Amino acid sequence: MKMNTGEQVVVVQMTKGNVKTRDILNTLKQRDVNNVSTMKQYTMQDMIAPNR
């Protein structure tokens, strides 16, 4: 499942703030208790591209 618009905004803002990837993932998980994402290396394009 792709990230929704709100999650994309959070990722972009945190990335611009030089936040570590694991901390971004932890933030997303805290915001959505149903998030079961695990650490996997993604490019920004992979995370925000629709229907890749």
21-41 tens-digit pLDDT: 889 888 988 888 777 776 665
d(C-alpha 52, C-alpha 36), whole Å = 20
Percent of the chain topping pLDDT 70: 69
pTM of the model as a whole: 0.63
Residue ranges making up the domain that contains 32: 5-48
Question: Count of domains in the chain?
Answer: 1
Nearest by Cα to 47 from 5, 6, 8, 14:
8
